[in-house]
Every structure is written in structure tokens, then in C-alpha cells.
Structure 1
Amino acid sequence: MEQNALFRKRYGSFRRFFVMLGKARLPYLWIVGYLAVSALIANVSVSTTEYSAALFAGQVGLFAVVLPYLFFTLLSLVIGSISSLTSNLCLARIDRNLRRMVWKKVVHLPLQFYEANNPKELLSRITTDVTSISTLIMQVLLPVFTTAYSSLLMLGRVSSYDQRLMWALVIVLPVNILISFVLGRMRFGVADLINRRNAQLTAAIAERANNMLLIKSMGTEEKEAVAGEARMKASYQAEVTDLWVRGLALPINAIASALQSVAIILAGRAFYSTGALDLTQWIAYYGFAIQLTNILSNYCNSWSNFKGAQGSVDRVSQIMDEREEPLDEGCAAEVLRGNISLRDVCFSYGDTALFTGLNAEIPAGKITAIVGPSGSGKTTLLNLIDRLYPLAKGTIAVDGRDIAGISLHSFRQAVGYVTQESVMYSGTIRQNLLYGLDRTPDDRELDRVCEAVGILDFVQEQPEGYDTPVGEAGASLSGGQRQRFSVARALLQKSDILLLDEATAAMDISGKDCVWKSIRTLMAGKTVVYVAHDAQTLQNADWILVLEHGTVTAAGDRQTVLQQSAFCREMMDLKGGASA
């Protein structure tokens, strides 16, 4: 068994749980309704028990006992159905609100969060963990009030028979609470382990399923099958440990319940034999005692679930404690038309410094190529311009205006960025082209942009045109087609600055020429910055920056840079000869 999981020293935080609930916008009106119905059930149950006791005692008066008993029994069934419906609606609404809360938080977190955490494990945070928390609220948090009210009501009724009898019950009842407290602490670690193992399994399967082409091309089917079996075995072992804990709880609770029943019967019998209770009260006392035992046992089982769900609370709370990007802090971007100036820019990935005082000038209204060996910081430079990462030191300014003072939302609306991956979502061509736009272009505008990047013929060949599905992550498209659509989407944005990270790498020569012609036409007078890796793409640049080891080693027009940079001369020679 997983003994480290059984005997954890850290068992979660109540404070984090309640802080998280404060952010979740729970359906309070529905919760109040559920509590009111539960209180009504408790009162009806007391009356039903007393009339039932009278029947068992031989009192069969039609109007005094039988009809009231039938009335309260029927009323209990009706109210119970209403309570069940209300409970399920509350559970569904809490589940929905918690998922909204976590998802809203997730999309507002900075990129560093996703680099430090496996994004695919977020699936379990938003699904399994949220479900555990919503169940915990309905089965543990709210029953604190309903259980306490029902218990006080029944103890009050027993006290009306004889107060000493009530105290006898109070002494016997806590046995289950103590047992469940111990078992609950054990279950916390086990349930947390199960959730973590399942999250790792889900993330691994999702990643492999999305990269089946690599698995097939590398012939690693058997290796992946074995690795998958190992992860499944780890999840299985965690679940077996949980079964051992649950199995241990069953006989312990059964023995405790049997001892409780004996103590309850002996106490009641003693009062009945002395005449302190009549027969009806003795039967009612026993009925109340059994109900109290069942209520507390059920709640204690829920408490065990609560300790198990605290791992989910911790993981979701960790997400909620993360600092969001300040999207709306700062002034509006307005128009970004000046030079892009980088002054003393410092940036690191963890402990690895990439830029230590980088200085560069990117001229406005021109097409600037960034070249350099792998790892020199070309993509990172684009990411910093788009403010995807915060600077450790230094400034980036547009027309002398520090972009840190501009709101992130408006700045990114003014900057178009086509990344290496050419990301597309499952959906239609139209949905992918319009993604992120705050307007809805008509088909004529879509035609013009798609024609400019050389993809309009493909669209027109599709039976549904722009409403043609592209498959998951654009699976039905080639790499070059995905890149064309990504460039078209960026051009539809009509941004002041366009960033391109190897945005035409998957296209053929004619495709690259077509796309760059459209960029020159549609971005005329605006600033374009792109990463180049070949001589053909470099021909499109008005200005070139050479990055080596995190430093600009050359900058200027093509002729100037070819004279200054050995790397650039080598790059041009390898790809077809130097050219001025």
C-alpha cells in the first residue's frame, strides 16, 4: 500500500476552502431553499416517528394515530422528493459556477504558469477536482446545518421524555465521530494521490493522442504502450490503497454501530423498567436514537469524503492564488506607429539568463527580419515585444512610449502575432479567421484577404466554403494551409504592428512569395517584424537584426548587415548565395 499517502502530515486548509467559496458566486437563493426544505423534513420526521411509535405501542385510533401517521408519511415522501430535486439543482449550479471561476482564472494567467505546470493536467482541475469540491459543499458543508438542526430537534424531543435520557444519548453518539475523524485523515492523502495519478494519466494520454503521427513515424508503439501501462498501474495501486482504507472502515463502523445499539437499548430499557418512560415513549426514544445514529454515521462518512476532497481544494486553490495578468491596467494603446526601441532589456528563463542588457532599434513602417543561430533569442524577442513575458529589467518603447504603461488588452489588440505553431481550433474556416476580432467582416473582405495570401481557391473548392470544418487543431489542412490561414487572420486584425515567427516556413516558394506580397500591400506604412531562417525569406526585409548569444551583433539594411555579420553571409551563401 501507499503508506506515504496514508500518513501525511499536511491535511489541507479550511481557510483556503472558504476563501475559494467566496470567489465562486454560489447560488445562495437555491442553497437557502434547500436548507429550508431540509428543516421542514426534520420537523415532519419527528412527528412521523412519534406517530409510528404510537402504532407500535398498540394505539390504533383512526383519527388520533392512523390518519396523522399516514399524512406525515406521505408529506415526508413529497418533501423528500422536493429536497432531492433542490439538492441536485444546487449541485449542478455550484459545479457550473466553480468551473466558470476556475476557467476564467486559467485564461487570465501568464505564460509562466503554463511553463511551470502541465497544461493538460488542468483538465482534471476543471473537471474531476471541481466535481469533488461541489459534492463536498452539498454533502459536507451544508449538512453541517441540517444535521445539527435535526439532531437538536430529536434530542429536544427525547429530553421532553426525560432529560437524563438525552444525556445518555449524547454520551454514546460521539463514538462514530471519533472513528470517522481518524479514517478521514487517512483518506485525505489517499484521495489526493488518486487525483494526482489520474491527472498525470489524463495528461499523458491527451498528449500522446495528439501526437500519434510522431509515435507511428518513430515506431514507438510498444514503448508508449508499456509507459501507458505503468501510469495505469500507478493509478490502480492508488485506488487499491483507497479500497483498503474503505474496507478497514466497514468492520470498524459496524462494530461501533453494534455497540452503540446495545448501549442505546440498555439505557432505554433501564428508564422503561423504572417507569420513567411509558411504552410509546420508549419506542419513540429508540426510533429517535436510531435516526440520530444514522444521521451522524452518514455525516461522518461525508466527513471522510471531505478529507479526501481536500486535495482537490488545495489544487484548485493553488490556481486561484496565482497572480493574473493585469489586462486592463494602463492607458489605451491608440496608434502604435513609431520605432520599437529596446533599452537595457534583461530576461531569463528560470536561472538561465538570455538577455542581459539588450539594446535594439526596430524602424517604424518597415519590414524587419530577425536572424541568428538557434537559441539566440529570436522568438523570445517577439514574445517580449508582444508582452507575453514581463521584463526583469529595461524597457521596450514604441515611438518613445513605454509599452508597460499601456493596457495589455488594448496593446495586444494593436499587435498581430503569427506564432510558429499556426494555431487553429476545431471548428470552421470562418470561426478560425474571425477568432479574436471585435468585428464581423463580410465574405467580400474575407475573400480579399484569403486571395491575398493565396488560399481563396482552396476555400471556394470546399462544398461549404467558409463554413467548412477544419478538424481538431486544423487536422484536415496541410501545414502550409494552416500558416496561410493564420497570416490571413492576423491581417484581418488590421494591427499597427505585425509579428511573424517563421510564419511561412511550411509553404513552398510560390506560396511564400504570395504571402509576402500581400503583407507588403496590406501592411504598407506599418511595422512588420519577423524571424527568418532562409535566404528567400530574408529577401523581403528592409532592415535586418542579427541576434547572437542574446546580443545584437549587426543591424541595418541588407548590404550593411552582410558586410558586418559573418553569420548572415554564411546564411545567404548556404541558401543560394549572397545578394545585395
Structure 2
Amino acid sequence: METNAIFRKNYGSFRRFFSMLGKANLPYLWIVGYLAASAVIANVGVSSTEYSAALFAGNVGLTAVVLPYLFYQILSLILSSVSGLINNLCTARMDRNLRRMVWRKTVSLPLRFYENNNPKELLSRITTDISSISNLVMKVFLPIFTTAYASFVILQKVSSYDGALMWSLVAALPVNILISFILGRLQFGVQDLINRRNAELTATVAERTNNLMLIKSMSAEAKEAAAGGERMKASYRAAGMNIWITGTAIPIRAIASVLQTIVIILVGRGYYASGALSLTEWIAYYGFAIQLTNILSAYCGYWTSFKSAQGAVDRVSEIMAEPSENLNAGSTMESPAGGIRFEKVDFSFGSEPLFQGLDLDIPAGRITAVVGPSGSGKTTLLNLIDRLYPLNGGLIQIGGKDTSDYSLTSFRRALGYVTQESVMYAGTIRDNLLHGLGRTPSDEELDEACAAVGILDYVRRQSLGYDAPVGESGASLSGGQRQRFSVARALLKKPDCLLLDEATAAMDIGGKAGVWASIRQVMAGKTVVYVAHDAQTIRNADYLIVLRDGQVEAAGEREDVMASNSYCREMMENGEEGR
């Protein structure tokens, strides 16, 4: 498998790669400063080499040779330090700008993208791979131009001694190109493989560490340790292949460099013996030739580094090429007033259709419960109302207006949605309550929202109050507490339409009753749509919809549907629906 990955035909897309760099807001002024400093260093290097040659030839005149030599050496050191500083600053700025760019892209991708890609693998894209891109620009792309200019200056100086000498130096170029091409192809494949194996390992470790309670409760420590070991072994094998390729490249380049040096010495010695070159010029020629050989060897490294980095960031460029959600296209929704209507709605996950020609009306200003067996489309129904997925066909209207006419940003801000997961982030209670709110409510308003869902006493027991940390993913909270905070967060939006997906499933009986009493009071005259999961919760509804196999089996007033629908009767008798 690894061998096929190395020699696969797709060696990355240059167009995607450079298109991505074009969007990265590179620090162009700093880059220009780096290029200018490098150009000056190249010219200073030529002068320094000539004065060095004069010293080796025995010319030790203080003002004619020694002092100029010291001046150019000191100037070269100063400029090199400045150039290195600028290079490092540019690299740091690129890292920052590229990470911003990729993160913004990541959060704007549609949910469909994450169904086909492991979200946790994106960790390495935003961290390790971004560093590869910035290093590629500053350690490969720009040095290609700076060393090309340095080569031009050197060849120009050598040609002033004798034109044939210049061409003797250029003759070594094809050998370096051939070596670079072969090693580059190998390096790209193996680096791409390393990148993918490391991303898989990162995703596995992140997922398992977030679910250690399950692992321990199932006594699965040995199994998970073995599974993680296999991921690590795969990463090790990929790294081992890279070590072999790199180890092979070093002696190949060394042999090529030695052969080039021998040729240079023989050619220069011949010109010196014939009297075409003075001793100073022959020594200078040798110094320039060694510099040029080093530059050509560096080009081998540049090409290999380019192919390596191209492999490492290929996935990043693919992410940047993915179509994003157009969050701001459309008119602004002020308030989602009115009933919700599904008209001939088609929707599928992959090739499996869920809704086909679905027609459904949800009344305005009432509390509507959606029930049905597992896989009937209850959660998907709420996701489509919130426009988390695009429709395959048909339309959804609110108040008689097509929801797709509104911008996604304004539409989603106008609705409140509490998902099954009751997501909490690492941070404080306040951070989580205000997440995505767009305003900063007072503590009194936070108290009202928390009191409505029965969590205010918990907040007041914390020494830091709303500034108390909740742990990673709300780890310090119980499932019921996370749900209460999630409902409070939705109520702080003051929505005219509230969607709840099993939002009270983790609460006790008394907690559910209290939260629903508050929802009915706060959302009086507004639209509430929720997925009901048990007999107690279904009693909070005014209107009831039964889904089965992606179709509406029954819809109407709660008492009427419960009396006429066998699934609802069974649910009430058993106390819980089939999820």
C-alpha cells in the first residue's frame, strides 16, 4: 500500500497550490526586503571572493586588499543576519496568515464535507502542514530567485575572465537537474504518505482521549492500545521509507559534487598553466566555481524540498479548493415569523434517499413535536429547517417565503437550535452561553435564562459564577447540565422559532417538566419544533407529526393523532419511542 502511494500518478496540483498561496495574504513588503538584502549579499560576496583570492595569491597590501576584505566580510555578516531575521519574521507571519485562512475555510465548509472526511484529521492540516507551506515559500521559492541572481552575478564575473570558463561551469547543470528530478518524485510520494499517516494517528489519539470513559467502562484498554500501536507502526514505516530515501540522496549528491569539483580544478588549472589566467584570477575562479557548485547542489535540495512539501500540503490545497457555503448571499432575515412549509422536498445522504417529495406543514406560534422510529428523518427535518444541508429538490418556506432567499448568516442567527449533542466548549460558563450570540447580555439577563432552565442555582454555587470553567467539551458538567446550558444559550437569542432535538433527554423527570414550563412561557406565541423521545415529552406538544421512512404518517392536533395513530399509542404505552 505504501509503495503504491509513493509512485501514484497524481503528484499534486500546481494550480491549486499556487492558487492557495495567492489567497494567503503573504507579507509582500517583508519579502521584498528579504530579496533586496539577498541581492546586496550576492554582490558583496563577489567582491569578498576577489579580495580573498588576492590574499591567497600573496597580495597583502593593507589599503588595497586587507582593509577592503575585512569591510566586505563584516558587511556580509551584518547583511546575512538582517536577511535571516527578515526570513524568520516572514515565516512567522505566513504561519499566522495561512492558519487564519485555512481555519476560516474549515468553518465555512458545508457539513457534507465532514461526512466524507474525518474532522480530527484537519488538526494536522492547520498545524504541521501550514508550517510546511511557509517553509516552502521562505526556504525554497524565494531562495530559488536569490540564488539564481547570485549565480548570474558569479557567471558574469567569471565570463569577464574568459567566456569559455563560464560555459564550463554551466555544463554541470543537467546533472543536478536529473538528480533533483528523480529524488523529488520519490520524496513527494513518501512525504505525502507520512503526512497522511500522521493525520490518521492524530485523529485516532484525539478521538480516543476524548472518550476514555467509554474505553475504561468497556475494559477496552488493551484493544485501543493495540489499535493505536498499529497507527504508530504505520507512521513509523512511512518515516523509515523517508530515512532510506534521504540517506540514499546524500551520497549521490556528495559524489556529484566531488566530480564537479575535480572538473573545475582541472579546467582552471589548464587555463592558469596556459597563461590565460593570473594566479589571483585562477584562485578567484576556483572560489566562484565552488560557490556555484554549492548553489547547484542547493537547487537539488530545493526541488526535493518542494516535492516533499507539495506532498505534505496537497491535502490543504484540496481543502481550500472545496466550495464553501455562501454565508452572506441573499436578503437579511429579521424574524422567522409564520408557519413552516415543506413543499415537494427531496433529500438524500449519499445515494440513499430519505425524503422524496415530502409535503409538510408546521403551524406558526405553536409547539410541534416530531416523533417516529429511528431513521425516519426526525433530526434531518430540523437540520433542513436550519439549512444545515442543501435540498436536492423542492423548497422550504417560513411565513410563505422561500428560506433559500435569505442569507445563511442572518437566517441561522434568527433561529434557535439545540442539537442532540448539547455542545460545550472548553472555557467558562459565560463563554458558552454567549457563543455566537452577537451581543453581550448583562448578568441579570443571563440569570433569567439560567433560571428558566433550572441551572441558576448551580451557577451561583460556583466561586467564579459565570466565569467558572466547564472543562474540555463541558467535562465538568453532567449531561443534564450541558443540556440546560444549551437551552439557555438558545433562549438568549430570543428567537421567534426554536428547534430542539431531544434537548431534555438527559434530564430527570422534574427537570424536564420545569424546562418545558419555561419554554412554553418564554416562547408563548412563537414557533417551537422539537423531536420528542418519550411519553412525558410528547405531552408538551400542541401539534404532532409522525414520520416513518421519510414520509408523514400522521399530522394534526396532539390528542387527535395520539388517538388515531398506532405508533403514538404504542409509544405512550411503552413510555419511550424507538430512536
Q: Deviations over 1:130-166 (max 9, x none)?
A: 1111111112111121011000000000001111111
C-alpha deviations, 1:305-357, integer Å up to 9, x for none? Answer: 11011123321111111111111111111221111011111100001111111
User: AA paired with 2:326?
Assistant: P
Q: Equivalent residue for 1:193?
A: 193
**Partner-residue secondary structure (3-state), 1:136:** helix
Question: Which runs of structure 2 are paired with 1:152-191 in the superposition (5 Å)?
Answer: 152-191=152-191
User: Residue type of the partner of 1:490?
Assistant: A
**Secondary structure at 1:528 match in 2:** strand
Matches within 5 A, 1:51-450: 51-450=51-450
State the Cα distance separating 1:5 from its structure 2 match. 3.7
Deviates most, 556-565 or 219-228:
556-565
- Cα distance in 1 for partners of 2:149, 2:199 equals 38
Which residue number in structure 2 is paired with residue 18 of structure 1? 18
1:299 Cα deviation after fit: 2.7
**Cα distance in 2, alignment partners of residues 259 and 528 from structure 1:** 80
Distance, in Å, in 2 between the alignment partners of 1:553 and 1:6 is 54
Aligned pairs for 1:42-57 within 5 A: 42-57=42-57
User: How far apart in 1 are the matches of 2:185 and 2:4?
Assistant: 13
Residues 2 and 241 of structure 1 are in contact (CA less than 8 Å); yes or no, is this contact kept in structure 2?
A: no
Counterparts of 1:230 and 1:236 in 2: how far apart (Å)? 10
SS in 2 for 1:395: strand
Q: Is the contact made by 1:371 and 1:532 (CA closer than 8 Å) also made in structure 2?
A: yes
How does 1:475-494 map onto structure 2 within 5 Å?
A: 475-494=475-494
1:553 match: secondary structure: strand
CA distance in 1, matches of 2:312, 2:191: 9
- The 3-state SS of whatever aligns with 1:365 is coil
Alignment of 1:539-554 (within 5 A): 539-554=539-554
Partner secondary structure for residue 34 of structure 1: helix
**What's 1:461 paired with?**
461
Post-superposition Cα deviations, 1:505-534, rounded to whole Å, max 9, x if no partner, equal: 000011101111111111111000000011
String of CA shifts for 1:24-77, please: whole Å, max 9, x gaps. Answer: 111100000000000011011111100000000000000000000011001111
Instruction: Give the whole-Å Cα distance in 2 for the aligned partners of 1:426 and 1:172.
Output: 58
What's 1:27 paired with?
27
Q: Quick one: distance in 1 between partners of 2:292 and 2:536?
A: 82
Partner SS state of residue 59, structure 1: coil
| 8 Å Cα contact 1:173/1:293 also seen in 2 | no
- 3-state SS of paired residue (1:344): strand
Q: Distance in 2 between matches of 1:2 and 1:552?
A: 50
Q: Give TM-score scaled by structure 2 length.
A: 0.98
Where does the alignment leave 5 or more consecutive residues of structure 1 unmatched? none
Q: 1:2 to 1:319 in 2, by over 3 A?
A: closer
Deviations 1:348-378 (A, max 9, x none): 0001111111111111000000000111000
**In 2: Cα distance, 1:374 partner to 1:111 partner:** 21
* Partner secondary structure for residue 390 of structure 2: coil
Say which SS state the counterpart of residue 505 (structure 1) adopts. coil
Structure 2 unaligned runs (5+)? none
CA deviation map 1:217-254 (0-9, x unaligned): 11111011111111101110001101111111111111
> Residue type of the partner of 1:3?
T
1:2-13 to structure 2, matched below 5 A, reads 2-13=2-13
Alpha-carbon separation, structure 2, partners of 1:483 and 1:5: 45
Residue type of the partner of 2:242?
A: D
Shift of 1:12: 1.8
User: Any conservation in 2 of the 1:177–1:297 contact (CA below 8 Å)?
Assistant: no
Report the Cα distance in structure 1 between the residues aligned to 2:327 and 2:172, rounded to whole angstroms: 58
Which whole-Å CA distance do the structure 1 matches of 2:550 and 2:4 have between them?
45
Contact 2:192–2:314 at 8 Å: present in 1 too?
A: no
Judge conservation of contact 1:91–1:138 (CA < 8 Å) in 2: yes
Q: Give the 3-state SS of the residue equivalent to 2:30 in structure 1.
A: helix
Residue pair 2:16, 2:318 contacting (<8 A) in 1 also:
no
1:546-565 maps to which residues of 2 (within 5 A)?
Answer: 546-565=546-565
Residue by residue over 1:252-304, the C-alpha shift from the partner in whole angstroms, topping out at 9 and shown as x without a partner, is: 11111111010000000010000000000000000000011112212321210
For 1:420-450, what per-residue CA distance to the aligned partner results, in whole angstroms no more than 9, with x for missing partners? 0000000000010011111111011111111
Shift of 1:389: 0.4
Q: Is the 8 A contact 1:143 1:299 kept in 2?
A: no
Separation in 1, partners of 2:14, 2:397: 46
Q: Is the 8 A contact 1:173 1:260 kept in 2?
A: no
Distance in 1 separating the partners of 2:555 and 2:3: 62
Return the alpha-carbon distance in structure 1 between the equivalents of residues 173 and 355 of structure 2: 67
Cα distance, 1:2 vs. partner? 4.0
Q: CA deviation at 1:576?
A: 9.1
Identity %: 68
Once residues 329 and 441 of structure 1 are traced to their aligned partners in structure 2, the CA distance between those partners, rounded to angstroms, is 28
Equivalent-residue separation in structure 1 for 2:457 and 2:376 (angstroms): 38
Distance in 2 of aligned mates of 1:2 and 1:435: 43
Asked if structure 2 preserves the Cα contact closer than 8 Å seen for 1:371 and 1:531, the reply is yes
Matched-pair contact (CA < 8 Å) for 1:7–1:186: yes
Contact 1:172 1:263 in 2 (8 A): no
Aligned amino acid, residue 497 of structure 2: I
What is the one-letter code of the residue matched to 1:43? N
Q: In 1, are the aligned partners of 2:144 and 2:302 still within 8 Å (CA)?
A: no
**Cα pair 1:130 1:312 within 8 Å, conserved:** no
Counterpart-to-counterpart distance in 1, 2:160 and 2:8: 45
CA distance in 1, matches of 2:196, 2:250: 26
| Runs of 4+ with >3 A deviation | none
In structure 2, what is the Cα distance between the partners aligned to 1:462 and 1:245? 58
User: How many residues get paired?
Assistant: 577
